[in-house]
Structure 1
Amino acid sequence: MKWINHMLVTGSIVYAVTADPLLAVYSIAGSVIPDKLEGKPPKTKKAYWRWRQKHRTWTHWPVPYLSLIVLILLFRRFGLIEPSLWPLVLIPLFILTGALLHIVEDALCGKVPLISHNKKIGLKIFTVDSFGEYFFSISLIIILLLYRGCSYILNN
């Protein structure tokens, strides 16, 4: 997925689930981390294809992100995080959530590692920067915002 779609889809998912715009912003920040960790693609063709072979490997492996999320939640569960600090702990928690959602989104348009960082799986329901990607992203965002709006109306 293109970064703009990662940011918009991730932010919409988190906002639809939490109704908290600040948590959505944190997740948007995290939604580009897996690609940022890989660095910019090189300009030359040969260097690009060498870089491309390593694209979506360890930076797109969900295990480290999930492990950190679980660790944070366990620390909270066992009282190792001061309750007054919890609002600050939500920042890294939702940045990690954004990175994890990036990986899930990439699995819809290609392959990403799942259990092992060496073996990739994915659905490839659309290609990156295609009409299908933008149609999927816009449709999902509309559905999520309608869901959030209906939830708000029904609860108030």
Structure 2
Amino acid sequence: MSGDHGEQEAATATLRLHRPATGRAGLRKLTVMIDGEPAGTLAEGATETFTVTPGSHRLWVHLDWSGTAHHEVLVSAGQTADLQVVFAGSTMNPLRDTPHSLLVLQPAPGNTATLREVEPPASAQRRARLTVTSRWAWTIAIAVLAGVIAYASGLRLG
């Protein structure tokens, strides 16, 4: 039986993701996508481990309208790829940050994991276009609503 367990361990690989505590979006969890499927979430200051089959895997981490670029990571049987997700954008303004400017996925310090940026699947490209469109729609709707409220309350703008 113990031989079977050793073979089972050798037939898996591990992706370990860390999100340093920075205070940015601290209460909100990042969603981790592996091979196009939600694999879990990543809280601020947390490290999560995901067991995968050896080989190449597509990895994407996102928070609402922003996320990392899509990456491919190659892990061998029994290997652990240590990665971290950091906030790199200068703002959290959805009108200034592009969908992939805020979060960066990179190897953790001292780890030799290789990440290769890849084209996002067509569904993710459509979602990014819709996200940009919806950000503008919400901005316009809020501006109109603010104008209506100001008008209704008798405030003069300008």
TM-score range, shorter chain: under 0.3
Point out the structure with the larger helix share.
1
Of structures 1 and 2, the one scoring higher in RCO (CA 8 A, sep 6+) is: 1
Structure (1 or 2) with the larger CA radius of gyration: 2
Point out the structure with the larger strand share.
2
